[in-house]
Amino acid sequence: MAGSSRRLTIGRALREAVQYEMTNNESVFMMGQDIFSFGGVFGVAEGLGEKFGPQRIVDTPISETGVIGAAAGAAMAGMRPIVEMAYVDFIGVCFNAIANYAAKTHYMSGGQFKVPMVLLASTGGGYSNAAQHSQTLHGTLAHMPGMKVVCPSNAYDAKGMMHTALRGDDFVVYLANIQTIGMMMLGKPLPGTIVDVPKEAYEVPFGKAAVLREGTDVTLVGTASAVHDSLKAAEELEKEHGISAEVIDLRSFVPLDRETIFNSVQKTGHLVVSDEDYHSYGVTGEIVASVAEMDPTVFKKPPQRVAFPDVPSPFSRPMEQFCLPSAARIKQAVLDIT
Amino acid sequence: MLPSTDQQKWIYQNMLVSRFFEQRIMALYMEGKQPVFDLAAGPLPGEMHLSYGQEAAVALCAAVEEKDWLHAGHRPHTLAIGQGVDLDEMAAELLGKKSGLSGGRGGHMHIYDNRVNFAASSIIGEQMPAAVGFAMACRARGDNSIAISVIGDGAANQGAFHEALNFAAVQKLPYICVIEDNNWAVTTSKEQSTAVKRNSDRASAYGIPGAYVEGNDPDKIYEASMVAFEHARSGKGPYLLEIETIRMMGHFHPDPAPYISDEERAGWVDCVPHYAERLVEQGVLTAQEAEEMSATAEAKANSAIDAAVSADYPQPEEALEQVFAQA
Amino acid sequence: MTEIRVEGGFAEDNDADEVVVGEWIFEDGAEVNADDVIVEIMASKVTMEIVAPVSGKLKIAAQTDDLLKGGDLIATIE
């Protein structure tokens, strides 16, 4: 039997999942800018225009409010749309359609209308794309009720979570950090993102964090690109300082697996949370608060947050690099509390 | 009325500066990005959207007065040059240097120069409502100044287009919406995305005049701009002005634009040498003068870029400054 | 045995006449099917997917990050 071991990028894994679901479920269709012949900026739709035609791979004008509103309506009427939004920053253009309409319709209708749609967007910076094209916005999206919000850090999770998203009945905001996807324009993706991916369809459930590395001295919780920074920091901490770090990939913001994180911090007594989104009023604060609410005495030392400072993303490379989470910053945060 | 010979020379000079500037930018941009393309690498990182082929638009700047405001989008270079943005500081900003217009915070897609009332930012369409706001300030000042937003044909399908024009029309604001129609929004043609043949036809939806200028022709662009700007200055309200142009270098550099047919390309005329030919033919310039203007423009562009290359980067911690005007 | 080589002619669209071998999707010695994408190669403006022309056992001839020119051997399938 051929294809025993097969490594994919996140972008390719997403494409596989989308193609499978579109093949097996006629109600699944995709909308976005430049997807029909160009395949979209992630290449998720590459080759799909040819296979499925322009009514199922729909090129849209630059009309986010119109398109996302339409996706919500199509979902309410029994279809299963995926909308690709190249950069998560663009949610600003159509925030009503996302947060007030798509996210709230199931609730406001008392469950009468489901909204089974997926909004796929890239997040993150680190390549000088400046303030309006480098944001992460995990917190902004996770904060609004009514949307499931997920973000894989590797190709195995990516494919499984996309199957889950397309088969579920809820509005899912599916994010992927731009340094992890494997887009042609950014050289190679972060190495840890390319892993073995089964050829057959499978699901990775939402609401379950993944312990990627077991440890005893400190818990490192990471999201997206910061997962890989955390893994690198953990390696260096072991080698250089004999510190044993447990690394958890959050991968699902809503629903959030508070249990797994709490259990880990209970074991290690020390927490460092890393997230490329802005520092204040976001994911890192939520994780710390969640653990504290369950039992603040598990903290042997104050929890640490490694995030993007509360500033718009600067264009100039030295300034941007200063702001981004990194293995070095995570390592230092650990050393500050151990 | 067509531009005077002095204005024609001004227009041509600025087209040249833009062209030479962008040729240096193209080369600098690709440094460090081969053989594998990586946006993050090299002295000029991030995305790059060239105005190459669209330089004729600078002719509208010949009709702009010092008190007027101009807001561009993600393809700002030619318009910035026409508006009088400091070229040295713009070059430094593109390279993320401390001496840049924004101290390196904005980069290529976010060019600002408050000394010449110029702004450019990167979310499609957001410049329209902002320019309507500029127009409100112009009205309040009572000095016959106007505000112009420049968008692409793709942006005309943004909700903000509808809202900005309607609001400006209701308020009778001195607002001009200029559309640079290069027929393409990334890889999507106007025909594929737009329900009407010409976006200038949409003006009637707002009860305002609309005009279309064919041929990527600086003289005609100037002439049409004067009509539009006069309309706004005299208190008659907004105007929708669409200019046909050609995006010769793809959406972003180095997009080879395989989605543009050979047939379409065959119809392309490069407006820069074409305008030079006309000016020499008309006797506005001798061939010698045209050469000298070329040399001057090239020297100016080189000086700006060379200075930017050797300028200093900001300190990393400076990233935390300038969020607010008052802490 | 089928040879898979870098196609020439990509240099027309690119500034460099070299390509870089990207990620291998299968391991050396793996069984592949015809039409499976086996590796990506990257040039300055394009990423090309290399597809197995036949089924069989993959023998990798160039490693990730290797620089290749037109005509160079990427892999063989037996």
Q: What is the tens place of the pLDDT at every residue in A263-273?
A: 999 999 999 99
Q: What is the tens place of the pLDDT at every residue in A73-85?
A: 999 999 999 999 9
Whether residue A2 and residue C31 make contact (CB cut-off 8 A), yes or no, is yes
| Local structure of B181: helix, strand or coil | strand
Residue A119 falls inside a structural domain? yes
Same domain, residue pair A258 and A141 = no
Size of interface A-C (CB pairs under 8 A): 36
Q: What is the tens place of the pLDDT at every residue in C14-70?
A: 556 778 898 888 989 999 999 888 998 887 666 788 989 999 999 999 998 898 888
CB B91 within 8 A of CB B105: no
Q: How far apart are the first and last CA of chain B?
A: 50
Residue A1 has pLDDT above 50, yes or no: no
CB B262 within 8 A of CB B99: no
Nearest to C19 among B30, B35, B256 (CB): B35
Q: Give me the sign of the Cα torsion angle A142, A143, A144, A146.
A: positive
What is the count of structural domains for chain A? 2
Comparing CA positions, the residue from A222, A150, A153, A247 lying closest to residue A192 is A153
Helix axes B287-310, B5-30, angle to 10 degrees: 40
DSSP H or E segment with residue A160: helix A155-167
Whether residue A128 and residue B96 make contact (CB cut-off 8 A), yes or no, is yes
Q: Of A68, A316, A320, A326, which to mutate for an interface test with B (greatest number of B Cβ within 10 Å)?
A: A316
- Going by the DSSP 8-state scheme, the letter that residue A145 receives in this structure is T
Comparing CA positions, the residue from B292, B68, B17 lying closest to residue B174 is B68
Same domain, residue pair A230 and A321 = yes
Read off the tokens for C2.
């089928």
DSSP string, A288-313: HHHHHHH-GGG-SS--EEEEE-SSPP
Same domain, residue pair A132 and A220 = no
Residues of chain B neighbouring A186 (CB-CB closer than 8 A): 38-40
CB C22 within 8 A of CB A188: yes
Same domain, residue pair A42 and A133 = yes
Q: Which residues contact B124 (CB under 8 A, 6 or more apart)?
A: A62, A93, B73, B74, B151, B152, B154, B155, B158
pLDDT of B35 reads 78
CB A209 within 8 A of CB A261: yes
Same domain, residue pair A219 and A307 = yes
Which of A168, A196, A224 is the C-terminal boundary of a domain? A196
Among A106, A133, A138, A228, the active-site one is A133
Same domain, residue pair A170 and A291 = no
Q: What is the tens place of the pLDDT at every residue in A89-116?
A: 999 999 999 999 999 999 999 999 999 9
Q: Which residues contact B267 (CB under 8 A, 6 or more apart)?
A: none
- Tens-digit pLDDT string for chain B (327 aa): 999 999 999 999 999 999 999 999 999 999 999 878 899 999 999 999 999 999 999 999 999 999 999 999 999 999 999 999 999 999 999 999 999 999 999 999 999 999 999 999 999 999 999 999 999 999 999 999 999 999 999 999 999 999 999 999 999 999 999 999 999 999 999 999 999 999 999 999 999 999 999 999 999 999 999 999 999 999 999 999 999 999 999 999 999 899 999 999 999 999 999 999 999 999 999 999 999 999 999 999 999 999 999 999 999 999 999 999 998
Does domain B5-284+297-308 sit in CATH 3.40.50.970? yes
Same domain, residue pair A184 and A227 = no
DSSP string, C3-71: EEE--S-GGGGSSSSEEEEEEESB-TT-EE-TT-EEEEEE-SS-EEEEE-SS-EEEEE-S-TT-EEETT
Angle at B65 between CA B59 and CA B71, to 5 degrees: 70
Comparing CA positions, the residue from B70, B82, B62 lying closest to residue B19 is B82
User: HSE on the CB side for C43, CA within 13 Å?
Assistant: 23
What phi and psi values does residue B79 have, to the nearest 5 degrees? -65, -40
Same domain, residue pair A62 and A118 = yes
Residue A1 falls inside a structural domain? no
Give residue C64's domain range: 2-77
Three-state helix/strand/coil letters over A226-246: HHHHHHHHHHHHHHHHCCCEE
CA distance B244 to A268: 65
B→C contacts (Cβ < 8 Å), by residue, are 30, 33-37, 254-256
Residue A205 falls inside a structural domain? no
Read off the tokens for B254.
């180095």
pLDDT of A221 reads 98
CA distance A255 to A252: 6
Query: Given the DSSP bridges, would you call strands C37-42 and C47-51 parallel, antiparallel or unpaired?
Result: antiparallel
Residue A201 falls inside a structural domain? no
Nearest to C30 among A4, A184, A188 (CB): A4
Read off the tokens for A275.
């997230």
Same domain, residue pair A102 and A229 = no
Say how many C-beta atoms besides its own lie within 10 A of residue C33's C-beta.
14
Residues of chain C neighbouring B37 (CB-CB closer than 8 A): 42, 44-45
Same domain, residue pair A73 and A147 = yes
What is the count of structural domains for chain C? 1
Q: How far apart are the first and last CA of chain A?
A: 50
Cis peptide before B256 (omega within 30 of 0): no
Q: Give me the sign of the Cα torsion angle B3, B7, B9, B10.
A: negative
Read off the tokens for B170.
């209701």
Nearest to A319 among B122, B186, B319 (CB): B319
For residue C37, give the CATH number of its domain. 2.40.50.100
Same domain, residue pair A170 and A307 = no
Residues of chain C neighbouring A12 (CB-CB closer than 8 A): 37
Give residue A254's domain range: 210-337
Q: Which residues contact B221 (CB under 8 A, 6 or more apart)?
A: B56, B57, B59, B60, B213, B243
Same domain, residue pair A23 and A143 = yes
- Confidence class for position A4, pLDDT limits 50, 70, 90: low
